[in-house]
Structure 1
Amino acid sequence: MPPADTGASAAQRAGASAPPSPDATTKLSPGSPGYRRANFALFAAGLATFALLYSTQALLPAISADLALTPAQASLTVTATTAALAIALLPVSALSEKYGRTAVMTASVFSAALLALVIPFAPDLTTLVVLRAVQGVALAGLPATAMAYLAEEIHPKAVASAIGLYVAGNSIGGMSSRVFSGAVSQALGWRTALFVVGLIALACALAFRLLVPPARNFQPGPVNPAALLRTVTGHLGNALLRRLYTIGLLFMGVFGAVYTVLGYRLMAEPFGLSQTAVGLIFLVYLVGTAASAGSGALLGRVGRRGALYVAVSLAAAGLLLTLSTSLVLVLAGLVLITGGFFTGHAVASSSVSRTATTGRAQASALYLTAYYIGNSVGGTVGASAFNAAGWEGTVALSLAALVGVAGITLYATRRAVLTARAGGGSGAGPSGVGVRNRLFTSLAAHK
């Protein structure tokens, strides 16, 4: 799920000097009515955001059939939204520094939900893609702003659990919209399915507005574009952060390619699944929830690079399994791809906040930008590969992206080994024990 920085202050996110931290006694504590309201409000907002963001993904075969589109053309209804969100994420979320967290989140979720009620009436692909892109811009006000609100308003000891519930809303929204829309589409058509998802999102927006407690610790300040640009430029100049952004982009490219084309593959022979059955396949996302939760333990045992090697291996094995004509093996492959993706994403996103020593919110926002660009590019290019060479083309493209992740990780491993050797000096003694110890220490430090 999208990464977040929960430690940076409002002014740090704007690139200004940090104001005094509010007293913890002014924050919402577990057990209080305000704490419960904030949790439910942000859960509803997260559910609406990701239900809308991926609302057309499970419907792509139906949209293709109705509008006589290729898979690559239909995929634009997903990639236009994620690409627009990626581009708008930094500037739109920065507005919350001046106008307030709840104001920006309210405007974001309501405008996106209302657009969702208009989108089903789009007469052609161009109109549909433009409306979906505008919806992506509207949604950009939620991800980073929601994390900032929770960090400012929730007691420090409860921030992690509050963010966990918000992320759960993200996951459930993304999964349920795909599963639900598939069933509705088979019975009533894809336009009705999108309209119903829009009604659900509007209900979530109303729940958010009624439940969200007013901000008590927000300190408005001017948006400083020059300072923000300096912070962003500094992050992009950090070689390790660039590698992490690229890893996130490549992993998401694989995930976007596979799940954008998945419906076309499974509805065709030899599988011949219905639209409802294809929608149910997205329940595999539950594997991602478990993989994300287990990534911390894996990271502690094998380190960052070790966990990335595991993620690449799982996803690659899964891609190879999906080449089978056995539905059981294809589903097993999807489980491995999903587990590998979420593991890699969790490792890379958590490493971003740990690597950035200043401006952590901007560092995470840049990761989100790369993440959604990867989704957009992967979805469209993966669909084009499918159109040109079938499922094998999509798999080959995805494997190439995983080779890129492995190459970046191997490069980092090589750098760590060379650093350890250079620091060994000649004082290790003939046995080389000192060199080996220093090598182990250096590798551990670079995990």
Structure 2
Amino acid sequence: MKNQQLIIIIYIILVVFSIMYATQPLQPLLANQFDINMVQASQFTAVIMFSLAIAPIVYGYVLESICPKKMLFIASVILLVTNLILSYSNSYEMFLTIRVIESLVIPAIITSCMSILANSDKANVKYNMAIYVAATVFGGMVGRVVSGFIATQFGWRTVFLSLSIALFLGLFLIRKLSFEGDTNLTKAKISDVIQILKDRRFVLIYLLMFTTFFVFAGLLNILPFRMKELIPDATESQIGLLYLGYGMGIVVSLLSKKIIKLLKGESNTILVGGVIFTLVNLSFFSDNMLFVFFMLFIFCVGMFTVHSVSTGIANSIKQSQKSLTSGMYLTFYYIGGAVGSVVPAMFYHSVGWDFTVILFICALIIIYSLFFIFRNDFKM
């Protein structure tokens, strides 16, 4: 029974993260369809990132104690309806409005899934959460790759219709869940937040992930436009294949403990991951998209190495208030993603590709230099 619940939750996560990221490889196509620029097209992903950033803080006040199964079902129904409407959108304003509505329900679905995983099988929480992380990564990859393929073969509207069908199946699966408990969400008090931010270790790890995800989300968001710039006749299917390297996140997240042991500590692992992540940006000056495609695998290895270790650190520094410290970690992480989904597109649109990559490298050098200086703070 517990395995059935895990499989259902994994399926829902795969579909939801596919919906989140399905627009990325389609951005040049949607920009052309709605006659908008790359900055406006980038907002289709940015709005969801922003909602995920504020959800850990806001949802505790909005939702109080609520049955996660009920919240999961209602939010999934809303997402199904909005996704169907997306496939019939005929203007930028309409498409963006629907994505904003989706951005409000997606955090509710993710929160429900995490709550069910954490409370339905308390003996295997760590294992379930490792599976959850792997599922989010796989969903992000599948959403990008498959949406590109479907758009090339059947048109972009079919992407959202097919995701709606997948979510419709998910509604039947949700009804099979047996979990009936409450989601006791944390209410973030300003005094508690200030207290946590007085600890330099938290500030550093939060800024580290803000910057890292800013660069990661930024590059992956503008990459379809770069490919169209270099290869004007590139199809959405070919653009989608660029995101196959994202799958490295599954491998890294599941092997993180072994990597930490090999590199003799969490601080060393973050620094090695950070150096790899920073240096690989140099390869993006290349005009050879095949070379860029292969380098993206290493890019993802660096990012997910840092992310998987940083998550563990954020949860272990302070034994009390773990839900708040991890919630704040996600807030900084997704704000970095939201800003990264818009600002680099503005740079690319204004000053070109090379200057945008230089921006990424400079930001990473600054934050990883700071982490190197204060690395001894994390020796526990």
Report the counterpart of residue 116 of structure 2 in structure 1.
Answer: 149
- Supply the distance in 2 between the matched residues of 1:191 and 1:240 (Cα, whole angstroms): 46
| Larger displacement relative to structure 2 (88-97 or 326-335) | 88-97
- Supply the distance in 1 between the matched residues of 2:117 and 2:249 (Cα, whole angstroms): 24
Change over 3 Å in CA distance of 1:190–1:220 after alignment to 2: closer
Report the counterpart of residue 419 of structure 1 in structure 2.
Answer: none
Q: How does 1:389-408 map to 2 (within 5 A)?
A: 389-408=351-370
Query: Are 2:206 and 1:245 aligned?
Result: yes
- Supply the distance in 2 between the matched residues of 1:168 and 1:120 (Cα, whole angstroms): 28
Query: Are 2:164 and 1:198 aligned?
Result: yes
2:250 to 266, 283, 289: 289
- Supply the distance in 2 between the matched residues of 1:352 and 1:205 (Cα, whole angstroms): 34
Report the counterpart of residue 212 of structure 1 in structure 2.
Answer: 177
Kindly state the Cα deviation for residue 353 of structure 1 after the two structures are TM-superposed: 0.5
Q: How does 1:266-277 map to 2 (within 5 A)?
A: 266-270=227-231, 272-277=233-238
Q: How does 1:419-434 map to 2 (within 5 A)?
A: none
Report the counterpart of residue 312 of structure 1 in structure 2.
Answer: 274
Report the counterpart of residue 197 of structure 2 in structure 1.
Answer: 236
- Supply the distance in 2 between the matched residues of 1:229 and 1:105 (Cα, whole angstroms): 28
1:387 to 338, 349, 352: 349
Is the CA contact (8 Å cut-off) linking 1:386 and 1:394 kept in structure 2?
A: yes
Report the counterpart of residue 63 of structure 1 in structure 2.
Answer: 30
Is the CA contact (8 Å cut-off) linking 2:115 and 2:183 kept in structure 1?
A: no
Change over 3 Å in CA distance of 1:123–1:220 after alignment to 2: closer
- Supply the distance in 1 between the matched residues of 2:125 and 2:62 (Cα, whole angstroms): 23
Report the counterpart of residue 172 of structure 1 in structure 2.
Answer: 138
Is the CA contact (8 Å cut-off) linking 2:186 and 2:323 kept in structure 1?
A: no
SS of aligned partner of 2:108: coil
Change over 3 Å in CA distance of 1:87–1:268 after alignment to 2: same
1:187 to 139, 153, 159: 153
Report the counterpart of residue 437 of structure 1 in structure 2.
Answer: none
Kindly state the Cα deviation for residue 254 of structure 1 after the two structures are TM-superposed: 0.7
Report the counterpart of residue 133 of structure 1 in structure 2.
Answer: 100
Q: How does 1:16-55 map to 2 (within 5 A)?
A: 34-55=1-22
Deviation readout 1:341-379 (Å, 9 max, x if unpaired): 111111111111011221111211111111111111111
- Supply the distance in 1 between the matched residues of 2:172 and 2:343 (Cα, whole angstroms): 37
Is the CA contact (8 Å cut-off) linking 1:113 and 1:205 kept in structure 2?
A: no
- Supply the distance in 2 between the matched residues of 1:323 and 1:342 (Cα, whole angstroms): 22
Q: How does 1:407-422 map to 2 (within 5 A)?
A: 407-413=369-375, 416=376
1:279 to 231, 237, 240: 240
SS of aligned partner of 2:22: coil
SS of aligned partner of 2:352: helix
Amino acid at match of 2:59: V
- Supply the distance in 1 between the matched residues of 2:194 and 2:155 (Cα, whole angstroms): 47
Amino acid at match of 1:265: R
Structure 2 alignment gaps of length 5 or more? none
Change over 3 Å in CA distance of 1:358–1:145 after alignment to 2: farther
Kindly state the Cα deviation for residue 280 of structure 1 after the two structures are TM-superposed: 1.7
Kindly state the Cα deviation for residue 95 of structure 1 after the two structures are TM-superposed: 5.5
Kindly state the Cα deviation for residue 229 of structure 1 after the two structures are TM-superposed: 4.2
| Larger displacement relative to structure 2 (344-353 or 286-295) | 286-295
Deviation readout 1:176-206 (Å, 9 max, x if unpaired): 1111111111233222222322322332243
Kindly state the Cα deviation for residue 41 of structure 1 after the two structures are TM-superposed: 1.8
The number of aligned residues is: 379
Is the CA contact (8 Å cut-off) linking 1:59 and 1:190 kept in structure 2?
A: yes
Kindly state the Cα deviation for residue 114 of structure 1 after the two structures are TM-superposed: 2.2
Kindly state the Cα deviation for residue 316 of structure 1 after the two structures are TM-superposed: 1.9
Report the counterpart of residue 114 of structure 1 in structure 2.
Answer: 81
Change over 3 Å in CA distance of 1:272–1:166 after alignment to 2: same
Deviation readout 1:326-346 (Å, 9 max, x if unpaired): 233212321121111111111
Structure 1 alignment gaps of length 5 or more? 1-33, 417-442
- Supply the distance in 2 between the matched residues of 1:239 and 1:252 (Cα, whole angstroms): 20
- The structure number with the bigger radius of gyration is 1
Query: Are 2:283 and 1:321 aligned?
Result: yes
- Supply the distance in 2 between the matched residues of 1:60 and 1:126 (Cα, whole angstroms): 15
Report the counterpart of residue 293 of structure 2 in structure 1.
Answer: 331
Report the counterpart of residue 359 of structure 1 in structure 2.
Answer: 321
| Larger displacement relative to structure 2 (332-341 or 103-112) | 103-112
Query: Are 2:14 and 1:81 aligned?
Result: no
Is the CA contact (8 Å cut-off) linking 1:47 and 1:204 kept in structure 2?
A: no
Query: Are 2:219 and 1:254 aligned?
Result: no
- Supply the distance in 2 between the matched residues of 1:281 and 1:390 (Cα, whole angstroms): 20
Change over 3 Å in CA distance of 1:356–1:119 after alignment to 2: farther
Change over 3 Å in CA distance of 1:100–1:309 after alignment to 2: same
Q: How does 1:343-358 map to 2 (within 5 A)?
A: 343-358=305-320
- Supply the distance in 2 between the matched residues of 1:368 and 1:165 (Cα, whole angstroms): 18
Kindly state the Cα deviation for residue 285 of structure 1 after the two structures are TM-superposed: 1.2
